[in-house]
């Protein structure tokens, strides 16, 4: 478990983390162009928070 990643994403040490397959299941739920836009939007929010 990486404490720096937990801190960056705002998780507490004892908080349950999402399953690693969550990203794969989400990807399969959307068309490729919609999923790519979703990833871009999430990345933009992450970068905005980091800076």
Question: Rounded to a whole number, what is the distance in angstroms from the first to the last CA of the chain?
Answer: 24
In this structure, is residue 1 part of a structural domain?
no
Please give the C-alpha separations between residue 27 and each of 17, 18, 23, 31, 40, in angstroms, as whole numbers: 18, 15, 6, 8, 13
- Among candidates 27, 51, 50, which has minimal Cα distance to 38? 27
- The residue range of the domain holding 44 is 14-50
Predicted confidence at residue 21, as pLDDT, reads 78
Q: Which pLDDT score, from 0 to 100, does residue 44 have?
A: 93
In 3D, which of 19, 35, 15 has the Cα closest to residue 27?
35
Count of CB atoms situated within 10 Å of the CB of 38: 13
The whole-number pLDDT of residue 26 equals 80
Q: What is the pLDDT of residues 2-51, one digit of tens each?
A: 787 777 778 888 888 777 777 778 888 889 999 899 989 989 998 888 77
Structural domain tally of the chain? 1
Place 1 in a pLDDT band, splitting at 50, 70 and 90.
Answer: low
Within-domain flag for 7:
no
Residue at 30 is within a domain: yes
Assigned domain for 3 exists: no
């Amino acid at each position: 478990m990486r404490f720096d990643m937990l801190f960056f994403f705002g998780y507490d040490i004892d908080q349950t983390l999402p399953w690693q397959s969550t990203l794969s299941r989400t990807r399969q739920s959307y068309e490729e162009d919609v999923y790519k836009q979703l990833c871009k939007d999430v990345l933009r929010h992450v970068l905005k928070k980091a800076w």
